[in-house]
Amino acid sequence: NAGVTQTPKFRVLKTGQSMTLLCAQDMNHEYMYWYRQDPGMGLRLIHYSVGEGTTAKGEVPDGYNVSRLKKQNFLLGLESAAPSQTSVYFCASSYTPGAANTGELFFGEGSRLTVL
Amino acid sequence: AQKITQTQPGMFVQEKEAVTLDCTYDTSDQSYGLFWYKQPSSGEMIFLIYQGSYDEQNATEGRYSLNFQKARKSANLVISASQLGDSAMYFCAMREHYGGSQGNLIFGKGTKLSVKP
């Protein structure tokens, strides 16, 4: 059981470079999320998706774009990286919350991104 | 206004003692869910316990229990018989519009728990 897999685990970028973080889940979850974690700030939602082909903005979406072309994959893109985007990024997925389940999030291991 | 407030940035507890981590939340919804996650120093996020707003009994999972006081909008995590392996960051989170289309979890800033031998 792979669960939620993020690639890459570590990346160093220069200001202005672009990159894509890939998240893949094998649990057939409808919902997927990208969070960033910064010291003292907890986890803040960047973007999320409630199904294939859908995306929505979270709390801190500026500077990021996402795509959900396949149900199992959720991509996070940085078009022009900035030092303020240095962070640990977590992908997560969940079943649709409802009477049958809690909608708890299943997390990937995180991706540490440094922008110089 | 913060949706989830964890007022204890750091806490210490003696091994084998119980500890309570505080969490208050702010919502006008009647239907919502509350979650606690643990993040050890290795970085992964581990789901601990869930409480639905309509659940009449406090949730329990092994040594973890959630002290849910709806009128006070608090959802404190109680860890009984603390172990050294409980040393970690603990995050409280809430899902509003439970069962609806919103979907996302809102997290507090966390409490760092250190268990002393």
Residue A5 has pLDDT above 60, yes or no: yes
pLDDT digits (tens, 9 = 90+) for A99-114: 667 788 999 999 999 9
pLDDT at position B2 is: 66
Most B CBs within 10 A among A94, A95, A105, hence the mutation to make, goes to A105
Contact yes or no for B105 and A98 at CB 8 A = no
Calpha distance A60→B104 (Å, rounded): 13
- Using DSSP's 3-state secondary structure scheme, residue B78 falls into strand
Query: Residue A74: in which H helix or E strand, if any?
Result: strand A73-78
pLDDT at position A41 is: 86
The per-type count for chain B, helices as H runs and strands as E runs, is 0, 12
Indicate the residue type of B93: A
pLDDT digits (tens, 9 = 90+) for A49-102: 989 999 999 889 999 999 999 999 999 999 999 999 999 999 999 987 766 677
pLDDT at position B101 is: 46
Using alpha carbons only, how large is chain A's radius of gyration in Å? Answer: 14
Cβ neighbours for A47, distance < 8 A, ≥ 6 positions apart: A33, A34, A55, A56, A57, A58, A61, A64, A65, A66, A76
Residue A116 has pLDDT above 60, yes or no: yes
Å between A98 CA and nearest CA of chain B: 4
Instruction: pLDDT band for A26, please (50, 70, 90 cuts).
Output: very high
Calpha distance A103→B48 (Å, rounded): 13
Contact yes or no for B104 and A58 at CB 8 A = yes
pLDDT at position B100 is: 45
Q: What are the tokens at A112? A: 């540490």
The count of CB pairs under 8 A between chains A and B is 61
Judging contacts by C-beta atoms under 8 Å, the chain B residues touching residue A41 are 109
Query: Do B79 and B21 contact (CB within 8 A), yes or no?
Result: yes
Judging contacts by C-beta atoms under 8 Å, the chain B residues touching residue A31 are 103
Calpha distance B31→B86 (Å, rounded): 31
pLDDT block averages, 10 residues each, chain B of length 117: 88 97 93 94 95 92 96 97 97 75 80 97
Å between B50 CA and nearest CA of chain A: 7
